[in-house]
Structure 1
Amino acid sequence: MQLYKQQQIKIYNSLSGQKETFKPINEGHVGMYVCGPTVYSNVHLGNVRTFMSFDVIFRYLKHLGFKVRYVRNITDAGHLENDADVGEDRIAKKARLEEIEPMEVVQRYTVDFHNILNTFNFLPPSIEPTATGHIIEQIELIKTIIDNGFGYEINGSVYFDVHKFNETHDYGKLSKRKLEDLIHNTRELDGQSDKKNPQDFALWKKAEPQHIMRWPSPWSDGFPGWHLECTAMSTKYLGEHFDIHGGGMDLKFPHHECEIAQNEAAKGQTPVNYWMHANMLIMNSKKMAKSTGNYILPGEIFTGNNPNITKAFSPSVARFFMLQAHYRSILDFTNEGLLASEKGFYRLMDAVNVLDSLKASKTSSIDINKWKQSCYDAMNDDFNTPVLIANLFEGVKYINQIKEGNISVTAEDLSILKETIHAFVFDILGLENNSKSQSGTDKLTGTIEVLIKLRQEARANKDFALSDKIRDELAAVGIELKDGKDGTTFSVN
């Protein structure tokens, strides 16, 4: 169904600095490239947040009926320390430290990456190319850049001539940086003497004798520059001019800036119509850092095995939490935020579970189609998931009011309500209905009943401190005990 003909999407384009109406190059088709991980360590939560943003965008475009080719790469050649032109290859460094082959490092952390994303219920991309699988394309791209006068070879390495490029092009237009300012702020570093200018970046690096990952090229046995990999893979699968290129805000400069320069130098045209950047993730209002302990791995959320959280959270609760912030906003990851999201998530799922039991009437006292369009309007406005979630909770109110008989809906409107809730909650936001797991519900009920029994025994033994502690600690995690003449009951808030 071609819903995209009825909906008009606006995307914040980092290139123009404003929201623009989305018009794909080819009607009904979307080409989207997102920079994937460098697989030398466990995927961190900031990566997950970025990829989740584009997973939702991918889901929404597919929901609207677009045929989407979503390309997300794996960087397995290993760019250098601090994304520089000098230093040690990250993957090779990990291999040396663990005394294994570089491709063992790549395999281990690629599997980890896929496992984590699968746990969060991500859809796989259409194509997931690897940097090492496209060495030939990268070499051919370098040849073209050299032939067009924007690359030069020195001592077996090839560099992009930023100053020459800037004479006829605008280097810095994405990040809004001027080359003059970059020149003024650049320190001369050891190992940069081969370059004509410090701002030039590597297209190909000659491998030192100890460098493990290397390939033959016309210039030397070496390895490609980091920026070049994405240019080669994006244009191979999406063409020289495609719709959307995404990634984290930290990639805007220099990575994406260099991608634009390479494409314009090689192909003579700007590669992408809409540049999208997801903002950073912080924790407890501070930058995440392993050194300070202000850090959590995605898998630790599911086990609760981290001092920054008080309990384990399901993947869908963590996903719901992250989608309550707009992708261009900074997200502060906190235990309190997760606990609040968990309550909201189960409220939403409780309403979803009630949907099938609702009864239709002959008339409707609410405008379901207006509410439905408000959900689309939220996503059409630069994929605004927090506003969408707020609108979904309006739908939750309707569900509860219909259940209680306070408002009425026709069979047709009830069908629209069900379809819309299911489409946005499951197909677009990618949440999973964990609350439908009867065994999980039974286990929770059984556990609470054991605690109620222990509390009753404590009261019988006049151990009121223990009795109050059980009641208060259950209340702290949203489980309220109610003492009545027929015994103690509980409710989950």
Structure 2
Amino acid sequence: MSELHLYNSYSRQKEKFEPITPGHVGLYVCGPTVSGESHLGHARPYITFDVVNRYLQHLGNKVRYVRNITDAGHFEEEGREAEDKVAKKALLEMLEPMELVHKYTSLYHWGMQEFNCLEPSIEPTATGHIIEQINMIEDIIAKGYAYEVNGSVYFDVKKYASEYPYGKLSGRVIDDLLETTRELEGQEEKRDRADFALWKNAPPEHIMRWKSPWGEGFPGWHIECSAMSSKYLGQRFDIHGGGMDLQFPHHESEIAQSTIAHGCAPVNYWMHNNMITIEGRKMGKSYNNVIKLTELFSGNHPMLEQPYHPMVIRFYILQTHYRSTLDFSNEALQASEKALRRLWEAYEVLQKLPVPANAEAADAALDANIRTFCHNCADDMNDDFNTARVLANLFELAPTINGIKGGQVKAGAISSATHELMLHTFKTYLEDILGLKPLQQNRDAKLDAVLQLVIEMRKEARNRKDYAASDKIRDMLAAEGIQLKDEKGGEMSYSID
């Protein structure tokens, strides 16, 4: 597949990607609601769309990547009083709302840095775009698709659905929505149970509030993304991404309100990553299985057997196609850690191998096989960002690399051009596009210094022909999960299981 094709959630099929403006891509991804710490489930969309961003740039596009911060207005549509999540959590933690926002935004940014995610081009906040949201709501009211009741404004879903395909993205049918919507408090002022809030009237005790034509209140969750995406990417842009759980009601509502406000569908390609489950169960507070990033990296959670490095999490997520379900377990992460170490060790070996000088001595069949795996990487990324198959191609190259090092494969069995292609492929895909880094970069410097000292002691024992002491050092380290490796020329290296 020589050109990029991606799966469009809206059409439910793979489509050739053609940006609105050639060479320029507008990408919007729903960011976090900063009323609490980011957790394992949040890691998947941000790592997924970081790779999308990286690959689009690799193809030569100038990408404007907009990822918002929801710091107000995210409330459950059918909640008792539709409380603002940030305001509610601020009361619980006895903090000013913006103090709470700063705390959790900083933690979120730290997590993204640990995952080696590139920063977005623009990171707008909901509270920084109240005027744009009010203007958009006024426009929707003027066009007859929203109404005000007691200081709150609701979108008229039934009227919209009579003219537009409401529910196409999520596969929901409007009649089914009306039948299955629960009767809850705070719903009686709506004309219809399916209607959603564009603006909510703030009760006297509500902290976060802004003046509006309908009185003091705060914005609905859905209107925020429509206002911010159109401001920075235009009324119609290329790609909108997020988790599959956002298809309804969030993204379905975005499509409806943006279509009315701007007179066109807002997005050409909708992309949604699948969810992470934990031992087959959905993450949720009721299951006590929500693992925060700080807990994941420290191992401080009852479900964790050990700490997990951010690069292990990133690798684990990219080993599965973004649209497939991904089940967390300690066994899966431990296997990912070992696999990442093996792959990166092969890459480091490749970097140290001398470039073959005699092209005539190359094994033509082996040479061609290696080149196929290298070229497959581009085809697989062009096939809906299939990072799992890209990694599989790189793993196919590892035995040949290790075979050259160990002498099982002749050093001249591959041509210099193929050697350079392998180096380029590993650098381009493992580092630049998949965004992975070696685990060694984050080892404790003091531990590394101690292990280097132990290695020197073992080398001295071997030089004295004190093999009993040499073997004892090796075996004691192995018992602690530290493997010593004897390299050519008497050098030694280590790896930690």
1:52 Cα deviation after fit? 0.6
Residue in structure 1 matched with residue 337 of structure 2 by the alignment:
342
Say whether residues 1:414 and 2:419 are aligned partners: yes
Task: Answer whether contact 2:26 2:63 (CA < 8 A) is retained.
Answer: yes
Residue in structure 1 matched with residue 391 of structure 2 by the alignment:
389
Residue in structure 2 matched with residue 485 of structure 1 by the alignment:
none
2:377 to 371, 375, 378: 375
1:362 to 355, 358, 369: 358
1:57 Cα deviation after fit? 0.8
CA spacing shift, 1:184–1:447, aligned 2, 3 Å: farther
Task: Answer whether contact 1:479 1:492 (CA < 8 A) is retained.
Answer: yes
Task: Answer whether contact 1:296 1:306 (CA < 8 A) is retained.
Answer: yes
Task: Answer whether contact 1:395 1:421 (CA < 8 A) is retained.
Answer: no
1:286 to 281, 301, 304: 281
Q: In terms of mean alpha carbon deviation, does 428-437 or 90-99 score higher? A: 428-437
Structure 2 length as normaliser, TM-score?
Answer: 0.87
Say whether residues 1:320 and 2:324 are aligned partners: no
Structure 2: runs of 5 or more not aligned = 458-467, 469-474, 487-492
Superposed counterparts of 1:296-315, under 5 Å: 296-315=291-310
**Alpha-carbon distance in structure 2 between the residues aligned to 1:491 and 1:264:** 55
Q: In terms of mean alpha carbon deviation, does 48-57 or 280-289 score higher? A: 280-289
Residue in structure 2 matched with residue 183 of structure 1 by the alignment:
178
Residue in structure 2 matched with residue 486 of structure 1 by the alignment:
none
1:54 Cα deviation after fit? 0.5
1:112 Cα deviation after fit? 0.5
1:46 Cα deviation after fit? 0.4
Deviations 1:411-443 (A, max 9, x none): 222222111101111111111123367845554
1:101 Cα deviation after fit? 0.6
Residue in structure 1 matched with residue 463 of structure 2 by the alignment:
none
Name the SS for the 1:153 alignment partner: strand
**Alpha-carbon distance in structure 2 between the residues aligned to 1:227 and 1:413:** 51
CA spacing shift, 1:490–1:180, aligned 2, 3 Å: closer
Task: Give the partner amino acid of 2:400.
Answer: Y
Residue in structure 1 matched with residue 34 of structure 2 by the alignment:
39
Deviations 1:374-421 (A, max 9, x none): 011111111111111100111222322333343622222222211110
Task: Answer whether contact 2:133 2:219 (CA < 8 A) is retained.
Answer: yes
CA spacing shift, 1:261–1:396, aligned 2, 3 Å: same
Residue in structure 1 matched with residue 245 of structure 2 by the alignment:
250
C-alpha RMSD of matched pairs (Å): 2.7
Residue in structure 1 matched with residue 88 of structure 2 by the alignment:
93
Structure 1: runs of 5 or more not aligned = 1-5, 451-459, 461-468, 483-488
1:361 Cα deviation after fit? 3.5
Q: In terms of mean alpha carbon deviation, does 356-365 or 234-243 score higher? A: 356-365
Q: In terms of mean alpha carbon deviation, does 128-137 or 362-371 score higher? A: 362-371
1:140 Cα deviation after fit? 0.7
Residue in structure 2 matched with residue 143 of structure 1 by the alignment:
138
1:84 Cα deviation after fit? 4.6
**Alpha-carbon distance in structure 2 between the residues aligned to 1:339 and 1:133:** 42
Task: Answer whether contact 1:14 1:275 (CA < 8 A) is retained.
Answer: yes
1:183 Cα deviation after fit? 1.2
Name the SS for the 2:393 alignment partner: helix
Superposed counterparts of 1:88-487, under 5 Å: 88-359=83-354, 360-363=356-359, 364-365=362-363, 366-367=367-368, 368-403=370-405, 404=407, 405-406=409-410, 408-435=413-440, 439=445, 441-444=448-451, 474=480, 477=481, 479=483
Name the SS for the 2:162 alignment partner: helix
1:103 Cα deviation after fit? 0.5
Task: Give the partner amino acid of 2:248.
Answer: F
1:60 to 31, 55, 59: 55
Task: Give the partner amino acid of 1:344.
Answer: A
CA spacing shift, 1:491–1:158, aligned 2, 3 Å: closer
Say whether residues 1:23 and 2:18 are aligned partners: yes
**Alpha-carbon distance in structure 1 between the residues aligned to 2:100 and 2:442:** 37
Task: Answer whether contact 1:78 1:90 (CA < 8 A) is retained.
Answer: yes
Name the SS for the 1:418 alignment partner: helix
Structure 1 length as normaliser, TM-score?
Answer: 0.88
Q: In terms of mean alpha carbon deviation, does 296-305 or 145-154 score higher? A: 296-305
